Amino acid sequence: ARWEDTDGSIAEIHFDYAAQLAADADESYSGTVTDEVSEAFRKAQETYAFIADDFADTPSAAQVPDALVELYDLATGDYQAENWCSAFDQIGMFDDLTWDAAPDIAERIEEERPDAALNCGWAQVDSGDLDDADETVEFLEANYPDHEAVDVEKLTKHIGAGRIEQQMEL
């Protein structure tokens, strides 16, 4: 038999649990997305989605869309701070999750992930991390072939120029 949540208290317990998972993940984040941080944010998102699906007629379910936006903003704060490479990793935590309860987040991911990757590639070139920049270009070409293709090509040329510069220095 399935539990009936006549007064919304079960949904509220799940809602509080998801909020606590997000807070704990944020507190654990130290500039690098670890498995622990990623798992906690993902579990929070999944719990909110569960509330929206299974407890749709409760007050907690009505709060889920806003809670998901807050969760995403909290988890991807480096995007707003323009810390591109860490933002790329942060956004990647949510790659394969569904956002039916907050479809705007899915759209943001589709825009922000390739943007963060491209900007991360430039940051990698600037810091001399050419192998990482190559991996970033490969990611963009494989997953977002139409995203700023001209800029990706420029990035590839700068990577090549950086390699020539490194060889000349040797």
Average pLDDT over all residues of the chain: 93
HSE-up of residue 131 (Cα within 13 Å, Cβ side): 0
Phi-psi category of 147—alpha, beta or left, where left has phi over 0 and alpha has psi -120 to 50?
beta
Residue 71 pLDDT > 80: yes
pLDDT tens per residue, range 49-61: 999 999 999 999 9
Other C-beta atoms lying within 10 Å of the C-beta of residue 116: 25
- pLDDT digit string (tens) for 2-55? 556 667 889 999 999 999 999 999 999 999 999 999 999 999 999 999 999 999
pLDDT tier at 130 (50, 70, 90 boundaries)?
Answer: very high
Q: What is the pTM of this model?
A: 0.86
Q: Which pair of tokens denotes residue 139?
A: 């990611």
Q: How many CB atoms lie within 10 A of CB 120?
A: 23
Whole-angstrom Cα distance, residue 163 to residue 44? 42
If phi > 0 it is left, if psi is from -120 to 50 it is alpha, else beta; for residue 128 that is left
- 83, 117 in Cβ contact below 8 A? no
Token representation of residue 119: 């900007």
40: CB partners within 8 A, 6+ apart: 21, 22, 24, 25, 28
